[in-house]
């Protein structure tokens, strides 16, 4: 709640949050809201475009096993078990040294977790939303010093 009030305060005190962040070299990325209320964006992984949900609760960015070939990922075995979105103890794999592009923002050498996203896409489809290729998580938010403006449905990365 404080973050929303703070952003509203910034909107009132400055000509706009967008102008302020642009001056600080942030890149503005538009978001769309899914039927489930999630925020979604387009991103490129290894120069291949896909659809991704923003998940501030996900520690790592993820792609479904079915996206390994599409996104040119090199999958390695992992002992990490994933949990979230109603599923626990899911087997995972890891893909290292990937390039992530979101809008005009780019990060190299990104590690991506691979796991079965079918439960996520089933939930989306049950709410008449399109399936996604993956999840953008806190790892990207940290690297990009992310600011999410829910009011104007956009993500800022620097």
Q: Are 138 and 148 in contact (CB under 8 A)?
A: no
Q: How many CA atoms lie within 13 A of 130 on its CB side?
A: 13
How confident is the model at residue 80, as a pLDDT?
60
Q: What does the alpha-carbon distance between residue 21 and residue 42 come to, in Å, rounded to a whole number?
A: 21
Q: What is the mean pLDDT of residues 59-86?
A: 82
Q: Are 133 and 70 in contact (CB under 8 A)?
A: yes
- The C-alpha angle 4, 8, 9, rounded to 5 degrees, equals 115
**pTM (predicted TM-score):** 0.82
How confident is the model at residue 9, as a pLDDT?
65
Q: pLDDT tens digits, residue range 80-135? A: 655 454 545 568 899 999 999 999 999 999 999 999 999 889 988 999 889 999 99
Q: What does the alpha-carbon distance between residue 72 and residue 100 come to, in Å, rounded to a whole number?
A: 12
Instruction: Give bridge partners of residue 102 from the DSSP assignment.
Output: 105
Q: What does the alpha-carbon distance between residue 156 and residue 15 come to, in Å, rounded to a whole number?
A: 17
Q: What is the mean pLDDT of residues 138-150?
A: 96
b/e per residue 118-150 (b: at least 16 CB within 10 A): eebbebbeeeebeebbbbbbebbbebbebbbbe
């Amino acid at each position: 709640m404080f973050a929303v009030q703070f952003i509203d305060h910034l909107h009132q005190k400055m000509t706009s949050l967008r102008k302020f962040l642009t001056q600080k070299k942030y890149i503005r990325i538009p978001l769309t809201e899914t039927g489930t209320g999630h925020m979604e964006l387009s991103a490129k992984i290894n120069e291949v475009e896909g659809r991704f949900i923003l998940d501030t609760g996900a520690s790592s960015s993820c792609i479904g096993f079915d996206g390994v070939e599409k996104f040119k990922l090199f999958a390695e075995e992992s002992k990490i078990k994933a949990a979230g979105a109603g599923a626990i103890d899911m087997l995972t794999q890891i893909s290292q040294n990937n390039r992530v592009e979101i809008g005009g923002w780019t990060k190299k050498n990104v590690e991506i977790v691979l796991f079965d996203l079918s439960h996520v896409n089933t939930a989306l489809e049950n709410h008449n939303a399109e399936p996604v290729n993956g999840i953008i998580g806190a790892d990207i938010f940290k690297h990009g010093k992310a600011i999410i403006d829910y009011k104007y449905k956009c993500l800022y990365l620097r």
